[in-house]
């Protein structure tokens, strides 16, 4: 570990959790998609949701359930085992979550190509 040298003392650098970095600096480009998925919170049953955007670091979905930041969840995308994540923020339109482990770039590319975002119907 490297230390920062100040006048007469050494202090360890501050390390922020990965989930904080995923939300605050948007460390990976987000892609608009429409992926049908299942989501499950710790200690509850799974429910259907739609992933609206995804990146290597996390995703946003249309889950309207009350989940507080820090809640552990699992997202099941078509063809994959459940992916562990943590709720970072919630709003009246859904949840933003950070994956525990980064998504493989090849897997991300497959979902971007297979599930493009829906085009709004012109009025």
Strands (E), 12-100: 31-41, 47-54, 58-61, 72-76, 83-91, 94-99
Residue 23 confidence (pLDDT) = 46
Mean pLDDT of the chain: 83
Residue 3 confidence (pLDDT) = 43
Determine if residue 48 is left, alpha or beta; phi over 0 gives left, psi from -120 to 50 gives alpha, anything else beta: beta
Residue 118 reports pLDDT greater than 60: yes
Residue 120 confidence (pLDDT) = 76
Across residues 69-89, what is the average pLDDT? Answer: 96
Residue 7 confidence (pLDDT) = 52
Q: Name which of 16, 59, 15, 68 is nearest 35 in CA terms.
A: 59
| Coil vs helix vs strand at 105 | helix
Domains and CATH numbers, the chain: 18-114 (2.40.10.220)
Q: Are 19 and 84 in contact (CB under 8 A)?
A: no
Across residues 42-65, what is the average pLDDT? Answer: 91
Residue 18 confidence (pLDDT) = 46
């Amino acid at each position: 570990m490297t230390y920062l040298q100040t006048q007469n003392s050494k202090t360890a650098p501050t390390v922020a959790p990965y989930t904080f970095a995923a939300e605050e600096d948007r460390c990976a480009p987000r892609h608009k998609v429409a992926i049908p998925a299942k989501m499950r919170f710790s200690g509850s049953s799974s429910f259907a949701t739609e992933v609206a955007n995804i990146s290597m670091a996390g995703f946003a979905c249309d889950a309207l359930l009350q989940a507080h930041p820090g809640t552990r969840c699992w997202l099941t995308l078509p063809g994959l085992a459940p992916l562990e994540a943590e709720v970072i923020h919630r709003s009246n339109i859904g949840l933003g979550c950070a994956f525990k482990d980064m998504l493989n770039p090849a897997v991300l590319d497959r979902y971007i190509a297979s599930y493009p975002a829906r085009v709004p119907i012109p009025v």
